[in-house]
Chains A and B, each alone.
Chain A
Amino acid sequence: MVKSKTYSIEELELKADDIRQDIIRMLEHVGSGHSAGPLGLADIFTALYFGILKHDFTKPNWDQRDILLLSNGHCAPVLYATMANAGYFEKKELLTLRQFGSRLQGHPERTKLPGLESTSGPLGCGLSQGCGMALAMNMNKDTHRWVYVVTGDGELDEGNIWEAAMLAGKYKLGNLIAIIDRNNIQIDGPTEAVMPLEDLSDKWESFGWHVIEIDGNNIEAVIDASAMARAITEKPTAIIAHTVPGKGVDFMEYDFTWHGKPPDHEQAKKALNELRTLKGKIRSEHE
């Protein structure tokens, strides 16, 4: 929507809570999928769809829309849940996740669902596609449009990411904004044990990027960082968003074993109860 409604931070936090509950319901229903990453990203996706992106769910191919790419496709549940809350499709369709015939494939497939900008899953490819899109916008003299690429942090192990980082720096793609979900976990354990990424900020800066570090579970911080990134026109911006994996569900937070599994019925019940009584809790942490 062309910003037809401006939400208050409190309203956005309630939306993020709804999106978290939808994520738990879908994962429990299908009994398959990733829990920790999508919950950790709920605030970033809420900020993007309800506070940042220029988009219109009635015209997913609108030629003036901002672009959002989810490079770490395994976090699809947060994308789907946010899109449903934003009006792209009815929320009841969320329960078809990963099932035969569903438009909500296990990893996002552009050709299946209007509103998806690309197909992703195999890691490390989103930033390059974002570069191609940003370059195309520049060729078209298409100003006032931005490309956002959400990537995981474990995903930064992929060489393809750094090939893209170099290219974006070379071409000074000020219309490209990477949001790195810095939750410090990947499948085999903590990122710094599997393959150290630090000093991550220095790495991006040395590739010619402007870097902003934020608390990625603070919606206001995400919106502010995006505004700052848009003001930096001479280089691409990397927002290193520190998030808590499993955020909002106490027994999932910080536990890397929740990377790739769904909650069972009892766990989902517990998680939903917690989220229902959460209202404002995540905000209060930031004050």
Chain B
Amino acid sequence: MNSLHIVEDVLAKDIMTEPNRKGFGKGLLDAGKANDQVVAACADLTESTQMHLFREQFPERFIEIGIAEQNLVTVGSGLAAMGKIPFVSSYAAFSPGRNWEQIRTTICLNDQPVKIVGSHTGLYTGMDGATHQMLEDIALMRVLPNMVVLAPADSLEAYRMTLAMAVDKRPNYIRLAREAIPIITTEKTPFEIGKAYIYTKGNDITFVSTGTMTYQAMVAAELLYKDGIDVEVIHCPTIKPLDAVTILQSARKTNRIITIEEAQISGGLGGAVAELLSEEYPTLIKRIGLRDSFGESGKPDQLLEHFGLTSKHIMLAAHKIMDNN
């Protein structure tokens, strides 16, 4: 396999796991230590979104908003207007799910650098069911001018992303997940807002993945290599602005693209990549993600299997796209 050795061996039996929201919590604490203008607000989910670490260290810089997500982001706008760097958290189904217009007007159009933290995204939310499994957040945030949309692969990347958000001058949205997922990045893995990264080089197909799905994409690529299919895996921690250069270079080489995300493909990463390619370099593309469907209650593994988001499903799609060409 043409691994660039910038991420862990994803097939290793002893790979560490942790929810990526934990990395966010540690990152926020360290961002708070680095800059006393960093403040936080939460809508009654402080421990769940891992803001309790910050609250315990900096109680005077933490605001408990209560269950009021419209207030959460508009208070955030006011804090940012006074020079604070506010991180505001809830579950993504409620923020940015419920308060989209407030985000549009008071944060994006008003150009205030509020950091919106949406936890419990995707099918990894599991047993809580469809109401809480936020799958439309990428689409909702990606369409807003000025907004930066981020989805970390794992806890370590979430940590580094949070530190980067604290110094970014734009409105940001970060999508996090509830359950433990493998930590695939290392201290050597590069991260910068706005960049996509090639984790393995290949010539036959390009996988473009984001968030929790990059692990599944890497596993699929390893196994496909054994089947004689040489996959290039691009991890896209920044969905907007999309790193067009990296994706187009790869598309010109492989001429086959599969996007993989734990979200609605319509308006999601799949939508973004399809828009890019159809304008710049029309390429055969398959999109893996939710297809106009809600989730349901179940264990994350059962749900990923049911909705076709496992490495096995990615491999099937890879074989198909090889046959089509």
A117 touches B70 (CB 8 A): no
Given the interface pairs A136-B82, A163-B68, the reply to whether A119 lies near B61 with Cβ below 8 Å is no
| Contact with B82, one of A124, A133, A160 (Cβ below 8 angstroms) | A133
A130:B78 contact, CB within 8 angstroms = yes
User: Do B70 and A133 touch (CB < 8 A)?
Assistant: no
Which chain B residues border A110 with CB–CB below 8 Å? Answer: 110-111
Q: In the assembled complex, which residues on chain B have CB atoms less than 8 Å from the CB atom of A160? A: 70-71, 74, 102
- B39 at interface by CB-CB < 8 Å: yes
Category for how many chain B residues contact A: 20 to 34
Q: Is B271 located at the chain interface by the 8 A CB criterion? A: no
Give the A interface residue count (CB, 8 A): 31
Closest beta carbon of chain A to B85's beta carbon, Å: 11
* Also in contact, A119 and B109, with CB within 8 A (given A129-B81, A133-B82, A136-B82): yes
Q: How many A-B residue pairs have CB under 8 A?
A: 100
> Is B149 among interface residues, defined by CB-CB distance under 8 A?
no
B78 touches A132 (CB 8 A): yes
With beta carbons under 8 angstroms apart, the residue of A109, A136, A167 that contacts B109 is A109
B96-132 residues at the A interface, CB under 8 angstroms: 101-102, 105-106, 109-111
> Does B77 count as interface, using CB distance less than 8 angstroms?
yes
In the assembled complex, the CB of B309 is this many whole angstroms from the nearest CB of chain A, namely: 36
Residues of B contacting A170 with CB < 8 Å? 66
B75 and A128 contacting across the interface, CB-CB below 8 Å:
yes
Q: Are the C-beta atoms of A167 and B65 separated by less than 8 Å?
A: yes
Is B292 in the interface zone, CB < 8 Å from A?
Answer: no
The answer to whether A136 and B78 have CB atoms under 8 Å apart is yes
List chain A residues, Cβ under 8 A from B80.
132
**Residue contact B63 to A135, C-beta cutoff 8 Å:** yes
B74 touches A128 (CB 8 A): yes
Contact with B along A117-145 (1 / 0, CB 8 A): 11111101100111111111101100000
Is the CB–CB distance between B79 and A164 below 8 Å?
no
- Indicate whether A159 reaches chain B with its CB closer than 8 angstroms: yes
* B84 adjacent to chain A (CB < 8 Å): yes
Closest CB of chain B to A62's CB: distance in Å? 13
Establish whether residues A132 and B68, one from each chain, have CB atoms under 8 Å apart when the complex forms.
no
A132 to B81, CA, bound (A): 8
Q: Is the CB of B79 within 8 A of A132?
A: yes
B267 within 8 Å of A (CB atoms): no
| A135 / chain B contacts, CB cutoff of 8 Å | 63, 75, 78-79
Contact, CB under 8 Å: B71 / A119: no
Mask for B51-78, Cβ within 8 A of A = 1, else 0?
0000000001101011010110011111
Contact partners of B71 in chain A: CB under 8 A:
128, 131, 160, 163-164, 167
Instruction: Give Cα A166 to B105, complex, Å.
Output: 22
The residue in chain B whose Cβ has the minimal distance to the Cβ of A160 is: B70
Contacts of A133 in B (CB 8 A): 78-79, 81-82
B79 (CB) vs chain A CBs: closest residue: A132
Q: How far is the CB of A111 from chain B (nearest CB, A)?
A: 5
Among B39, B74, B81, B109, contact of A164 (Cβ-Cβ < 8 Å): B74
- A122-B101, A135-B63, A136-B83 provided; 9 other pairs, C-beta below 8 A? A110-B111, A125-B77, A133-B82, A139-B84, A160-B71, A160-B74, A164-B74, A170-B66, A171-B63
Q: What are 17 residue pairs bridging A and B, where the CB atoms are less than 8 Å apart in the complex?
A: A111-B110, A118-B77, A119-B110, A128-B102, A128-B106, A129-B75, A129-B106, A132-B81, A133-B82, A136-B39, A136-B79, A136-B83, A139-B60, A140-B82, A160-B71, A163-B65, A166-B66
State the 6 A-B residue pairs at the shortest beta-carbon distance, nearest first.
Answer: A132-B78, A128-B74, A136-B82, A163-B71, A129-B78, A163-B68
